[in-house]
Amino acid sequence: MESQAPYRTLQPGEMLNWYRIERILGRGGFGVIYLATDTNLDHLVAIKEYIPSDVATRTQDSQVHPITEEHGDMFRWGMDRFIKEARNLVKFKHPNIVRVMSVFQENNTAYMVMEFEEGLDLRSFLRQPGANNEQSLRQLILPIINGLAEVHRHGFIHRDIKPANILVRKDGSPVLLDFGSARNASKYTQQSLTALVSVGYAPLEQYNSESDEQQGPWTDIYALGGTLYYAISGKDPVESTRRAAAIFNGGADPLINAEYLGEGKYTADFLRAIDWALQFGIADRPQSLNDWMPALLSGQSDANNAGGPMTRISALKPGVDTKAINELSDATVLSRERRSGKADRQRASSVNSPASSGDVSTGVRGLSLIALLLAAVALALWFTSNRKGDDNQNTAVAEAQTTSAEQKLQADLEAKLAEQQRIEQENAAERQRIALEEQRKADELALQRQAEKEAQAERDREAEEARLATEARAAEQAAIVAAEAKKRAEQEKADKARAEAAAASARAKQQAEAKAAREREAIRLEREAKRLAVARKERRLKQAISAAQNSLSVGDLSAAQRQLQNAQSIDANDPRVQTLAFAVQAAQAEYDKPVSDADFDTVTRMFDGLQRAIENKDPVALDRLAISSQQSTIFKSLMKNFERLDVSITGIRVRNVDKSITGTLRIESMVRANGDRGNLSDKYAISTITSRRVNGGWSKIEW
């Protein structure tokens, strides 16, 4: 599922080394995938950028930086894993898995270059007539299994197989995409697998980030079984955590068998192979693709060896692809080693256990299941204990503790009020001291100005006396000056005549030089005007293109079209304008697409995730799914103050006008630790939740 990223993405036309960005293909919590052109070889590639939205952001210079210094180590660790992962994925060279071609660092982050694959994702492909018949599904799944065997052969597991990550090319061949969750599955790996799950397609062992040893080829086989389950039924499998809650509380498995859903349309053997892959327990599933392949092809399974619901394979039926099975044999080494080591540990545990006199195989299986699903057992125990309730004595103790806590809170509050009053008194005294100091300074300034005024008056009187004396001396000199002036006037008259003649000549020369200078200046101004006109045009063009790109990045298509028209009016032939027109056209086409069933499923799962986050009192998941608002603040407060919150989401509806999906979230009940229930008015108990499609993805939930 794509999410609305809180950071600026690279824009069409930007360059990464010799790769030119064309548009966004998809994005999520860990980064963005761009469609780009390799300008050296002139062909399209897909580039995955490492920019985890929860720890990093992009500045205006396109550089990627951690949000805070505290996030720096996490960001750099993740980038090292990203680079190492690319170097490992380049080992996988198979026509049915996406090829990683290179990795490089730029903009303070890392980029993985992959082949650009065109086609339909499996969900879209299965809507075509005849696409989900048994023969078609075998032709699609077998090449994927062969490619996945290459992954297992190198000691890796994919961990994110689902319909969205299987692409069907135009020639009908499938390709397995997005190894973003692939990690080295070797038992010598130092770091545990990251718990990234796709709801419905991830078995329970994937939900525990510490269960590295519990994950292996059987984990991918569960996801493959879930993918085939979707293909035959059109429904995602039930989430494995829901299955665990039912099974560990003595209930029935809520997952309806494929053998029942596909009865009459598919062969019973094919459906039983799907059900075998989707067995809840690890030991009940096929342990390798080599184990599962004969059951999928011939309808039989090695049930006695794997503990599954099938019958043991005694011989392959006619028509089974034995060559494909032989190619898978190398990929079973990891699962065999894991099973061997696990079985040795289980036998040793059974011998030393007091219960070893009972059913040994049942005990080993139970211990393995408990070790695998420790988190789920804790959840079941919590659920059971809350249903039993507390006796009167425990209630009294809880009430006494509550009273003591309230008394301590009251004492703390009174102490804080006293401290606040003391601080306010000190502040008032300080303000009074400052006021007195300012008044003293004002009085000193007034005295200083009065002294300066009196000194200026004395200086003015002395200046007037000096002026009168000067005027007397000037009168005496006047007569002398007059005589000398007359003589100078006559001399000046003669000099003036000569000067006028010289000035006339100089003016003529100056006028000629001025005319030439004006002509040169006119030429310079004309050139400058042309240069400024070109610069203004370029600046206006860049502003229009940048504004359109920014509008596209936030999903404002109308503004983007206006800016495109503005850019076309400036220079419609500019390559950048033509590229922008292509981007706007593509955005318009994306906007014109109605909300699909897959989009509805995506947002519905996001709504379900919000419901689980509230009921599980998980503020981190709440912030990841919903936009921070007053409503999220209210829910976080309710999570702290109540032991249990029961909510429901109803009335989910689609608005194709603005490409949004809306539902109604209601708080059904609120239960405190002591069993008291609280109620809210409809104003706060009922909320409208909305997700909108932006740039091909779905935004965080608005409420």
Tell me the pTM: 0.45
Q: Please list, in sequence order, all residues whose beta carbon lies within 8 angstroms of the beta carbon of residue 17, skipping any fewer than 6 positions away.
A: 104, 106
Please state, for a pLDDT cut of 90, what percent of the chain lies above it.
Answer: 47
pLDDT for 702 equals 92
Point out the least confidently predicted range of 57-71, 189-203, 431-445, 650-664: 189-203
Burial of 61 (0-12, 13-18, 19+ CB in 10 A): exposed
Point out the least confidently predicted range of 263-277, 425-439, 481-495: 425-439
pLDDT over 70 at 698, yes or no: yes
Point out the least confidently predicted range of 141-145, 254-258, 398-402, 429-433: 398-402
Give dist(CA 364, CA 339) in Å, integer.
12
pLDDT for 526 equals 92
Give the ranges where 234-359 is alpha helix by DSSP (H): 240-248, 258-261, 268-277, 289-298, 303-306, 322-328, 333-352
Tokens of 263: 């009865």
Give dist(CA 682, CA 672) in Å, integer.
20
Tokens of 691: 């997700």
- Residue 95, CB-side half-sphere exposure with 13 Å CA sphere: 9
pLDDT digits (tens, 9 = 90+) for 121-131: 999 999 999 99
pLDDT for 694 equals 80
Average pLDDT, rounded, for the chain: 80
Point out the least confidently predicted range of 69-78, 293-302, 306-315, 404-413: 306-315
pLDDT digits (tens, 9 = 90+) for 189-244: 333 334 357 899 999 998 875 556 789 999 999 999 999 999 999 999 999 999 99
pLDDT for 678 equals 83
Higher-confidence residue: 188 or 119?
119
Please report the DSSP string for 493-540 in residue order: HHHHHHHHHHHHHHHHHHHHHHHHHHHHHHHHHHHHHHHHHHHHHHHH
pLDDT for 89 equals 85
pLDDT digits (tens, 9 = 90+) for 75-121: 999 899 889 888 888 888 899 999 999 999 999 999 999 999 999 99
pLDDT for 457 equals 82
pLDDT digits (tens, 9 = 90+) for 285-310: 999 999 999 999 874 434 333 334 44
pLDDT for 188 equals 34
pLDDT digits (tens, 9 = 90+) for 486-523: 888 889 898 999 999 999 999 999 999 999 999 999 99
Compute CA distances 303 → 217, 224, 227, 285, 339, whole Å. Answer: 17, 18, 22, 9, 15
Give dist(CA 178, CA 166) in Å, integer.
9
Q: Please list, in sequence order, all residues whose beta carbon lies within 8 angstroms of the beta carbon of residue 623, skipping any fewer than 6 positions away.
A: 632
Give dist(CA 563, CA 573) in Å, integer.
15
Higher-confidence residue: 60 or 543?
543
Phi/psi of residue 668, nearest 5 degrees? -80, -40
What would the mean pLDDT of 450-458 be, rounded to a whole number?
82
Q: Please list, in sequence order, all residues whose beta carbon lies within 8 angstroms of the beta carbon of residue 289, skipping any fewer than 6 positions away.
A: 145, 148, 149, 152, 217, 221, 328, 331, 332
pLDDT for 176 equals 93
Tokens of 411: 């004492």
pLDDT for 13 equals 94
In the chain the domains, ranked by start, together with CATH numbers, are 15-115 (3.30.200.20), 120-380 (1.10.510.10), 412-592 (no CATH), 597-698 (3.10.450.50)
CB atoms within 10 A of CB 381: 12
pLDDT for 405 equals 53
pLDDT band at 42 (very low <50, low <70, confident <90, very high): very high
pLDDT digits (tens, 9 = 90+) for 358-397: 333 333 343 334 344 444 444 444 444 444 444 444 444 4
User: Which one of 64-68, 183-187, 405-409 scores highest in mean pLDDT?
Assistant: 64-68
Burial of 180 (0-12, 13-18, 19+ CB in 10 A): buried
pLDDT for 184 equals 42
